[in-house]
Amino acid sequence: TQLLEQSPQFLSIQEGENLTVYCNSSSVFSSLQWYRQEPGEGPVLLVTVVTGGEVKKLKRLTFQFGDARKDSSLHITAAQPGDTGLYLCAGGSNDYKLSFGAGTTVTVRA
């Protein structure tokens, strides 16, 4: 099992502030995905990154894949209450298994 560690576990910020969530592993992943999950729902894909050093932007969200493809970060600029949720990173490899991190619970206070 390839372990993905996310930090921090919990994050509570005021509306308008910025935040960064980290996803780290000692293993190399061929691809990394970020999902967001709301209470009572299944996770929903935000982005997939596949190239070391890749940066993708989705409106106020910026995703980065580390050069060595062992780590990733999610940065949210000017967070809004609608960004509240559980953010999960998931790594893919050659064995047809998707490994998830434990998640970061983000709360944005109005």
Partner 1 sequence: NAGVTQTPKFQVLKTGQSMTLQCAQDMNHEYMSWYRQDPGMGLRLIHYSVGAGITDQGEVPNGYNVSRSTTEDFPLRLLSAAPSQTSVYFCASSRSWTGAQLTEAFFGQGTRLTVV
Residues that bind partner 1 (CB under 8 A): 1, 4, 6, 9, 30-31, 33, 35, 40-45, 48, 50, 88, 90, 92-94, 96-103
Cβ closest to partner 1, residue 33 vs residue 64: 33
Minimum distance, C-beta of residue 48 to partner 1, in the bound complex (Å): 7
Rounded to 5 degrees, φ, ψ at 92 are -110, 150
Minimum distance, C-beta of residue 53 to partner 1, in the bound complex (Å): 17
Where are the extended beta strands (E) located within the chain? 5-7, 10-14, 19-24, 31-37, 44-49, 55-58, 61-65, 71-76, 85-92, 98-100, 104-109
Cβ closest to partner 1, residue 15 vs residue 38: 38
